[in-house]
Amino acid sequence: MSLTDRFKECLGSWASGVSVVTTRHDGLLYGLTVSSFSSVSLDPPLVSVCISNGNRAAGMIEDSGWFAVSVLSSQQEEASNYFARPGRLPTAGFVEIDGAWTLSGLPIVKDAVGWCVCDVSQAVPAGDHTVFIGAVREAGADEDREPLLYWRRGYRRLLLP
């Protein structure tokens, strides 16, 4: 087994939330499913997302200077699958998934567990990805929803007592 395969197995052993990163540029919106979303700092509020340089979202985020992150709920596997599908093109509005617009005009996934809107603070090249550090300008959460989790190549849910 190659190092790449062993590395993928290692990463698959890390349970993570499922998020969709969206942006809007030149009147078009685009989004993709990511598991590489993390908080960076509370003061000032900063988050990070890692986007493949081969994905059109990387260029759109770089050009627009902003992005939003929607943390998906346990009821949103369909949204995760849609935004993970390769070959999609940017659209003027939401097509197959229910969306919402933030006060600042960025698209988010409707009924997400949480969301934030960020201005790009830094774009750091890292191998075949770019790490975008976002300065949070808006945020919200729905405490009544449970998160969608991903572990070992499958969706999972919290088992609450």
What pLDDT score does 8 carry?
A: 82
Instruction: Answer yes or no: is 116 within a domain.
Output: yes
Nearest-angstrom CA–CA distance, 53 and 35: 16
Instruction: Answer yes or no: is 6 within a domain.
Output: no
Instruction: Answer yes or no: is 9 within a domain.
Output: no
Low-confidence ranges of the chain (pLDDT < 50): none
* 5-40: pLDDT as tens digits: 888 888 777 788 999 999 999 999 999 999 899 999
What pLDDT score does 84 carry?
A: 95
Range of the structural domain that residue 62 is part of: 16-154
Instruction: Answer yes or no: is 11 within a domain.
Output: no
In CATH, what number is assigned to the domain containing residue 46?
2.30.110.10
Instruction: Answer yes or no: is 147 within a domain.
Output: yes
Q: Is the pTM of this model over 0.85?
A: yes
> Contact, 121 vs 134, CB < 8 A?
yes
What pLDDT score does 13 carry?
A: 76
CB atoms < 10 A from the CB of 127, how many?
A: 9
- What is the total count of domains within the chain? 1
